[in-house]
Structure 1
Amino acid sequence: MRNMEFKEQMHEYSVWRAKLVQAVEMYHQWRSRYGMNDPHSADTILNILDGLQSDKITLAFVAEFSRGKTELINALFFAETGVRLLPSSPGRTTMSPTELFHDEKGGNYIRLLNIESRLEDISLAEFKKNPDRWTQIDLDCDSPTQMQEAFKELVATKQVDRDIADKLGLWNEREAAEQGIINPEKIEIPCWRHALISFPHPLLKEGLSILDTPGLNALGTEPELTLSMLPNAQAIIFVLAADTGVTKSDLEMWHNHVCHNRGGSKQGLAVVMNKIDAMWDDLADENGYDDSIRSQIKTSATTLKVNENVIFPVSAKQALLAKVKSDESLLEKSRLAALENYLANDILKQRKNILLGTITRDIGFLVNESSNLTGASFANAVAQLDEFKKIDFQNADMTGKLMAETRDRQNLYMANVENFQASRRVFAVQAQMLIDSFAKEKIDGIIKTTKHDMAKSLTTYGMKQNIRKLFDELRDLLQDSVDITNETRRLVKAIHKKFKDEYGFKEIEPQLFSIKQYQIELEQIFDEGEAFRSSAKTTMSEQSIVINKLYSTLIAKARNILRQAHADATTWSNGVLTPLMHQIKDHKKQIEGRLQMLRKINESKDSITENIASLEAELGPLKRQSEELAIIINAMQLDVGS
């Protein structure tokens, strides 16, 4: 069936990623085999491997209540179970944000975080690190019925006093009044704040992860969803109902929680116009039905400001039924195939390009260096062989002269080493200044002061002023780092230029540390916070817990960005001069080899032919080293210049 195409492409993606992992592992082994490994390059490569092996394709499904979003997930991914695996019957709407994935080590389970955890100043990310805080239900994967029964917890609710709902950020008096609810004694709230589901579905085992987010209210009261989880998804599938089109709450969710997370590019963003079966009319002809769908697509595209080709009209309900009953004509009528093709082709292709870009950015420099050094070693060996073939070694003066020249080179090499060590000491002082500019103590001092001020002012205006103060101070801290970064970059360039100009080293463009990305990300956080704050209706102005969660989330993100800057600056400073060190080591190896060969020829002039033959034999391993690297570079799909 059509869903097999997505499964097959997901499998192909998984195989492709495994081959990429294998190629990076081969490169790591190659560096070790030929003595090019060092702590910096090893850490860089191991981090890349860890990222590739833990890579997931995350699809986030976002919609207001009753748009058929969970039914769409069932139809796309879980139809082969023969049951409606995730609860999506009328009146049984998923209440808590839910993540589906495969946890190979943890097993098969549902983990549920109680709604009262909202009162704690702990992020969802921190809660996930502590399984003991979750209620766990084990899953029997051989029994879809048992799983289906267990999944009913996702729609569980309970009645609580109004003041408790208020504290949890789940009661809004104005919204309730609009719905005719005045002074209720009890409020219905979700039992669970968040759900994690792990089971070995083939797609999940291949690395697919699904995020199911319920309603505007959930997004409006869980900042971490909007500010962290949605931006990290490879694709956001925004679900509308075909019979209602884009409603006011749909539009608010789109602008403030969906569109903003794509950085304005709308890449990896699809709109599903679900429930087209509500437009089926046995009395109307097929052309009239198609015209109605096209008209709704056109209107929705104009309202959402997206291209019509990323809007997919479907009937998730009929698609699920068609797959369970193997009804090809009904499946075709459900129009699910176009959405499946989009996920299989566009999203997976985008993810491939992202991974290849990461490989190029993080180890492309190392691979270029390896290629340059290997090529230079082979070229030097060939040049030395050609030189020796032309020399009259019967002439003692000539041999002595060659020995003297080589010793002069050796003396120059010693000077190189001394200059390199001196340059490295100067650089170490400058690099430490750069690293210290991102010191945890500086950042936490700023954050601690701001949080203290926030605790005293829980109005929207007060919070806004405090967060502005926080970001102004973090910007000032970053600006100091910018100045130090520029000075450090100039020093690195000067060191490389010195060794090229004075000692004839091969020019290798140094990998320079850049602070720009951290600046951009920090500014984005403030923009996201402003959009989020203004989006959550009156809840934001009345419920201090939501406001506090919002700014705690922003602070955590800001801290993580600056912590990453600190780690990246440390890693960069440890490795930026490594290519020079490798050239010096290679230079030493060439000089020592040349001296040894001249001594052997000088001591036994009868064996010149044998020594020449020995030199020729040494070309073989060097050539093989270069050929192995070329194969690895090809396997990593890198474009490396000579």
Structure 2
Amino acid sequence: MTASFNEQFGQHGAWRRGFASQLQELREWLMAQDLLDVSVQERLQRLEDQMRGDKVMVAFVAEFSRGKSELINAIFFAHYGRRLMPASAGRTTMCPAELGWEADLMPSLRLLPIDTRESPESLGQWRVRSDSWVQYPLDIGNAQQIADTLVKVAEVRKVSVDQARRLGFWHDDDEADNPMVDADGWVDVPMWRHALINMPHPLLKQGLVILDTPGLNAVGAEPELTVNLIPQAHAVVFVLGADTGVTKSDLAIWRDHVLPAGAGKAGGDDALAASRLVVLNKVDTLWDSLSSGAQVQAQLRRQQQDSANLLGVSVDKVLPVSAQKGLVAKVNRNDVLLQASGLPAFEDLLANGIMGQRQKVLQAAVHANVQQLQGQVDRVINMRRRELDDQLAELCGLRGKNASVIAGMRSRIEGESQEFDQSSTKVQAMRTVHMRMLKDIFQLLSSAALKKELLELKEALDQRGLKLGVRKIYEQTFERLHAVAVKVLAQAEEMQNLMSTSFRELNAEFSFSLQVPPTLMLSDFTEDLRSIEGSYTQYLGLSSAFKLTSADFSQRLIKALALRLRTVFEAASNDVEMWSKSLTAPVDAQLRERKRSYTRRLEAVDRISGAATDLEERIADMENAQAHLGSLQRQLISASAQLLVPLWTERAQIASASLDINLVA
């Protein structure tokens, strides 16, 4: 049997922890060898933080009563021996629920009242206001208490039609999807807007985040779900009912809230589309004692094919599952029923899809950072090697020479040192221009600049009534945002050209050995802009025109957009800062190493001016230092190669391995 999702995710977490420990060992080793400059340290720290804090989000999306919460119970919580998420008849998740683990918070269920929808603040803004959430503690050792507490995510309250309209659950233009009105004129709406479940579950502690979303009416009223949370999930599981097939509301959720923008079209995001899995749940409803096994399988295959055709996915992405039977089978340890439920096959596809994509992302980050790190450290070692070669040649040339020759050499070294000190003026001039250009780039990526770019769109959404021209303004806004990315890269190229010219001049005038600086790459920035642009389009067409007439909804939409864009701009700014430091780090390293070299050369000349024996001892020291540098270089190559071993080939071995570095005094 293949490993379950839980087992594969556990292996992934073990690899991340092991890799982070390796990075920590490498940092300590570099520090002990005085090879850890600011740029290298920051690169190591960022990579280590990424490994330790990496989150993997799996979003479960479905219309009501498709068995979504039962599927979550079966995959993640069967070891409790009972249901944790409410999934029984008449009880289902009514508000979006995020399950994760934050070690600095107590195990708890936190609930945001639905009334907050009547304010213009976005969900992201409410997240930081802890006093606005209702909190219930969770007793992790008591499964019954956890289940009884989590039932609260299924709570509803009765409101008038007018209030339901203000809360986003009643739409005059689409009455078919509105909630039922009882005899007294009241309708049921969710009691809560959002739920945060903080549990020290083994997988949640390793970085898994589970997003359980409600049906179409609730999802459509919360733009941050569609434009922020669901698009950023590493896998989205779309749950259908085998007894219903693809309904109209299922298709609306799939097209508007699950299918990534551009997927299935020329140039679409195939990798993102590949992370969308479809579960045809409740297949046990087709298990009919009056039908043969072959007839049941034929009916199931037709349902799979029909669902795949309607959703526009390959049939192998539609997996038949009985979450209820799978949960029962896991609790009762019934392997035959477990296989019949289809749950193991789905867990394997889910694990391979998430782990495969996540590992590719992490492996790309590892390769880029480790190779650059190795290059930076290797240049420092080579600088020291060249300085040692020069010092050794000088010392060997002093064999058999008299005091006047030695004094002449000391005078020459002092002259070289004074001449080299003049380079600081040129370096400072280069730094001044560099910082000015860097400031210009940071200004392009600042919150103030982003706010200015969004102003016209905000004003259009703030207008009363129908906003039929907002789509064009939206497109123009993103044209300007894409232009910002182009300007940033152009500024960075100009800065790189400046540094390249300065490096050549320093090499020619002061015998530096600076190489052409690297090019700034902002592929994540441009890709994220395209992704965000596509995520919002469903809210700006004619089908959403009436929804946009709500001032509260429009304000939540623009605030959600601003929040996500601010995150992307800040990430790009951080990338620029890291790149900028990689430009100046070699200059700092060569200044430091050259000054250290002059000091050591003068000390050596002073020591040997009195006795020939000191000369031979000093030559021996230089030769030993050369051998030591060779050893450091070999250890660096070995450590870097070990860090670059592919995750998917030797993950378990790497997790328990430690860097093969022996510190040399």
* TM-score, normalisation: structure 2: 0.87
**CA 1:39–1:605 in structure 2 vs 1: closer, same or farther (change >3 Å)?**
closer
2:623 aligned with 1:616, yes or no? yes
- Corresponding residue for 2:164? 165
SS at structure 2 position matched to 1:377:
helix
Which structure 2 residues correspond to residues 308-319 of structure 1 after superposition, within 5 A? 308-319=315-326
2:13 aligned with 1:7, yes or no? no
Q: Distance in 2 between the 1:524 and 1:535 partners? A: 21
Q: Distance in 2 between the 1:607 and 1:37 partners? A: 32
Offset of residue 379 of structure 1: 5.8
- Corresponding residue for 1:331? 338
Q: Distance in 2 between the 1:430 and 1:638 partners? A: 38
- Give the length in aligned residue pairs: 637
Deviates more, 1:472-481 or 1:271-280: 472-481
2:49 aligned with 1:50, yes or no? yes
Offset of residue 384 of structure 1: 5.1
- Corresponding residue for 1:79? 78
Offset of residue 553 of structure 1: 1.5
2:281 aligned with 1:282, yes or no? no
Percent of pairs identical after alignment? 29
- Corresponding residue for 1:354? 361
Query: What do the CA deviations read for 1:155-181 (whole angstroms, capped 9, x no partner)?
Result: 111110111111111102343357896
**CA 1:418–1:352 in structure 2 vs 1: closer, same or farther (change >3 Å)?**
same
The answer to whether the 8 Å contact 1:63/1:69 transfers is yes
**CA 1:518–1:545 in structure 2 vs 1: closer, same or farther (change >3 Å)?**
same
Q: Distance in 2 between the 1:160 and 1:508 partners? A: 69
The answer to whether the 8 Å contact 1:485/1:515 transfers is no
Q: Distance in 2 between the 1:121 and 1:621 partners? A: 64
Offset of residue 21 of structure 1: 1.4
Deviates more, 1:88-97 or 1:236-245: 236-245
Offset of residue 458 of structure 1: 4.5
Q: Distance in 2 between the 1:378 and 1:457 partners? A: 71
Offset of residue 416 of structure 1: 3.3
The answer to whether the 8 Å contact 1:273/1:314 transfers is yes
Q: Specify the code of the residue in structure 2 equivalent to 1:134.
A: W
2:443 aligned with 1:436, yes or no? yes
Offset of residue 197 of structure 1: 0.7
2:255 aligned with 1:255, yes or no? yes
Q: Distance in 1 between the 2:27 and 2:255 partners? A: 45
Query: What do the CA deviations read for 1:84-108 (whole angstroms, capped 9, x no partner)?
Result: 2111112322110111112222121
Deviates more, 1:102-111 or 1:349-358: 349-358
Q: Distance in 2 between the 1:54 and 1:44 partners? A: 15
Q: Specify the code of the residue in structure 1 equivalent to 2:209.
A: S
Q: Give the alignment's Cα RMSD to 1 decimal.
A: 3.1
**CA 1:328–1:451 in structure 2 vs 1: closer, same or farther (change >3 Å)?**
same
- Corresponding residue for 1:305? 312
SS at structure 1 position matched to 2:236:
strand
**CA 1:610–1:179 in structure 2 vs 1: closer, same or farther (change >3 Å)?**
closer
- Corresponding residue for 1:394? 400
**CA 1:534–1:278 in structure 2 vs 1: closer, same or farther (change >3 Å)?**
farther
Which structure 2 residues correspond to residues 485-524 of structure 1 after superposition, within 5 A? 485-514=492-521, 517-524=524-531
**CA 1:11–1:35 in structure 2 vs 1: closer, same or farther (change >3 Å)?**
same
SS at structure 1 position matched to 2:274:
coil
Deviates more, 1:321-330 or 1:444-453: 444-453
- Corresponding residue for 1:150? 149
Q: Distance in 2 between the 1:559 and 1:608 partners? A: 62
2:376 aligned with 1:369, yes or no? yes
**CA 1:573–1:231 in structure 2 vs 1: closer, same or farther (change >3 Å)?**
same
The answer to whether the 8 Å contact 1:360/1:638 transfers is no
Q: Specify the code of the residue in structure 1 equivalent to 2:355.
A: L
Offset of residue 412 of structure 1: 4.6
2:459 aligned with 1:460, yes or no? no
Given the alignment, which residue of 296, 302, 327 partners 2:303?
296
SS at structure 2 position matched to 1:460:
coil
The answer to whether the 8 Å contact 1:235/1:347 transfers is yes
* TM-score, normalisation: structure 1: 0.89
Offset of residue 297 of structure 1: 2.7
Which structure 2 residues correspond to residues 53-132 of structure 1 after superposition, within 5 A? 53-132=52-131
Q: Distance in 2 between the 1:325 and 1:183 partners? A: 42
- Corresponding residue for 1:187? 187
Q: Specify the code of the residue in structure 1 equivalent to 2:166.
A: K
The answer to whether the 8 Å contact 1:457/1:463 transfers is no
The answer to whether the 8 Å contact 2:604/2:618 transfers is yes
Q: Distance in 2 between the 1:541 and 1:610 partners? A: 83
The answer to whether the 8 Å contact 1:41/1:366 transfers is yes
Q: Distance in 2 between the 1:7 and 1:518 partners? A: 32
Deviates more, 1:556-565 or 1:17-26: 556-565
**CA 1:588–1:267 in structure 2 vs 1: closer, same or farther (change >3 Å)?**
farther
Q: Which runs of 5+ in 1 are unaligned?
A: none
2:420 aligned with 1:421, yes or no? no
Q: Distance in 1 between the 2:174 and 2:182 partners? A: 12
The answer to whether the 8 Å contact 1:446/1:474 transfers is yes
- Corresponding residue for 1:25? 24
Offset of residue 322 of structure 1: 0.8
Q: Distance in 1 between the 2:276 and 2:386 partners? A: 51
Deviates more, 1:211-220 or 1:67-76: 211-220
Offset of residue 369 of structure 1: 0.4
Q: Specify the code of the residue in structure 2 equivalent to 1:237.
A: V
Query: What do the CA deviations read for 1:325-344 (whole angstroms, capped 9, x no partner)?
Result: 11111111111111122233
Offset of residue 390 of structure 1: 5.8
Q: Distance in 1 between the 2:342 and 2:527 partners? A: 40
Q: Specify the code of the residue in structure 1 equivalent to 2:123.
A: L
Offset of residue 516 of structure 1: 5.7
SS at structure 2 position matched to 1:188:
strand
Q: Distance in 2 between the 1:38 and 1:254 partners? A: 50
SS at structure 1 position matched to 2:232:
coil
- Corresponding residue for 2:660? none
Offset of residue 227 of structure 1: 0.9
Query: What do the CA deviations read for 1:390-436 (whole angstroms, capped 9, x no partner)?
Result: 64611348756755664554345324333222222222222222223
The answer to whether the 8 Å contact 2:40/2:376 transfers is no
- Corresponding residue for 1:540? 547
Q: Distance in 1 between the 2:226 and 2:254 partners? A: 11
Deviates more, 1:151-160 or 1:364-373: 364-373
Q: Distance in 1 between the 2:396 and 2:491 partners? A: 53
Q: Distance in 1 between the 2:573 and 2:159 partners? A: 46
Offset of residue 478 of structure 1: 5.1
Q: Distance in 2 between the 1:73 and 1:180 partners? A: 26
- Corresponding residue for 1:217? 217
Offset of residue 70 of structure 1: 0.8
Q: Distance in 1 between the 2:320 and 2:465 partners? A: 44
Deviates more, 1:152-161 or 1:359-368: 359-368
The answer to whether the 8 Å contact 1:62/1:237 transfers is yes
Query: What do the CA deviations read for 1:366-402 (whole angstroms, capped 9, x no partner)?
Result: 33201222244246536754x4686461134875675
**CA 1:427–1:224 in structure 2 vs 1: closer, same or farther (change >3 Å)?**
same
Q: Distance in 2 between the 1:476 and 1:202 partners? A: 44
Offset of residue 487 of structure 1: 2.1
**CA 1:316–1:256 in structure 2 vs 1: closer, same or farther (change >3 Å)?**
same
**CA 1:574–1:227 in structure 2 vs 1: closer, same or farther (change >3 Å)?**
same
The answer to whether the 8 Å contact 2:63/2:214 transfers is yes
- Corresponding residue for 2:204? 204
Q: Distance in 2 between the 1:42 and 1:290 partners? A: 58
Q: Distance in 1 between the 2:630 and 2:178 partners? A: 78
- Corresponding residue for 1:234? 234
- Corresponding residue for 2:650? none
